[in-house]
């Protein structure tokens, strides 16, 4: 079951997970090695920049929007569809430019951000892994790793497309049990940029005319 939350999650970028009966986790060595190599590479960088296309919908009807995602350690900044989300390591700030509204909240233990790298941080405890062969993605022969949840959480399967030579993800597909499909296609990746010191900092002074709600 997927519960849509306020703010950026209204576009399918955040999901609430509801555990059911647990089963033993299963993973094959090849899949685990692929994901660990990508995770280690991203974690070794001072910061990571992803430009991506995000699509969601059912069947062949997918709405696609461009987005950007910066990360440094646990901190991140996400921009898509007039919505900006900042996580400073303590609180999440959802900023709606269209509505001039900001919602501030602590991250919920039961929620997970649907981002280019989220599953790299959650797969080891929450998903079974299996190798699904190679598929071509924009001329790259990507290794495909299939993730299926250990516990019922509204997700049927997730497919991570890995450029194993570069140790980078190129695509992510998330299939929900309600038949909804969400896709992130990474169109550009740049590591170790010289970022503004305030990249992962929320500054209230920049939003003087916004309605701010702290939950």
DSSP states of 157-186 as a string?
A: EEEEEEETTTTEEEEEEEEETTSEEEEEEE
In angstroms, rounded to a whole number, what is the distance separating the alpha carbons of residues 76 and 8? 14
Name the phi and psi angles at 2, rounded to 5.
Answer: -115, 125
Residue with tokens 């399967």, as numbered in its chain: 157
Tell the burial category of 24 from Cβ atoms under 10 Å away from its Cβ (0-12, 13-18, 19+): exposed
Sheet holding 92-96, edge to edge: 127-137, 140-149, 155-163, 168-176, 180-191, 48-58, 61-72, 75-80, 83-87, 92-96, 101-105, 211-214
| Dihedral over alpha carbons 77, 161, 39, 200 (to 10 degrees) | 0
Output the pTM of the full model. 0.83
DSSP H/E element including 187: strand 180-191
Backbone angles phi, psi at 207, to 5 degrees: -130, 55
- Name the token pair of 110: 């039961």
Task: Evaluate whether 182 touches 157 at the Cβ level (below 8 Å).
Answer: no
Domain spanning 7-18+26-214: CATH 3.20.20.140: no
Alpha carbon distance 15, 155 (integer Å):
10
pLDDT at 1: 24
- Residues in contact with 71: Cβ distance below 8 Å, sequence separation at least 6, in sequence order: 42, 47, 48, 50, 77, 115, 117
Q: What does the pLDDT profile of the chain (215 residues) look like in tens digits? A: 222 233 334 344 444 333 443 445 677 899 999 999 999 999 999 999 999 999 988 866 678 899 999 999 889 999 998 899 999 999 999 999 999 999 999 987 655 566 788 888 888 888 999 999 999 999 999 999 999 999 888 899 999 999 999 999 999 999 999 989 999 999 999 999 999 999 999 999 999 999 999 98
């Amino acid at each position: 079951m997927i519960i849509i939350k306020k703010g950026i999650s209204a576009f399918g970028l955040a999901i609430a997970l509801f555990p059911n009966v647990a089963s033993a986790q299963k993973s094959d060595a090849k899949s685990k090695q692929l994901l660990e190599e990508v995770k280690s590479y991203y974690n070794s960088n001072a910061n990571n920049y992803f430009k991506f296309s995000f699509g969601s919908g059912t069947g062949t009807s997918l709405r696609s929007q461009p987005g950007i995602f910066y990360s440094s350690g646990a901190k991140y900044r996400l921009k898509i569809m007039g919505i900006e989300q900042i996580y400073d390591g303590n609180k999440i700030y959802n900023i709606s430019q269209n509505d001039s509204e900001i919602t501030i909240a602590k991250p919920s233990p039961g929620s997970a951000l649907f981002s280019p790298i989220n599953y790299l941080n959650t797969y080891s405890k929450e998903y079974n892994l299996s190798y699904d062969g190679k598929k071509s993605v924009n001329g790259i022969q990507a290794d495909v790793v299939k993730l299926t949840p250990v516990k019922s959480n509204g997700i049927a399967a997730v497919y991570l497309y890995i450029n194993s030579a570069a140790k980078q993800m190129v695509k992510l597909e998330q299939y929900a049990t309600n038949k909804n499909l969400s896709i992130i296609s990474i169109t550009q990746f740049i590591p170790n940029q010289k970022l503004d010191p305030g990249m992962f900092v929320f500054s209230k002074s920049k939003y003087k005319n916004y309605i701010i709600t702290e939950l």
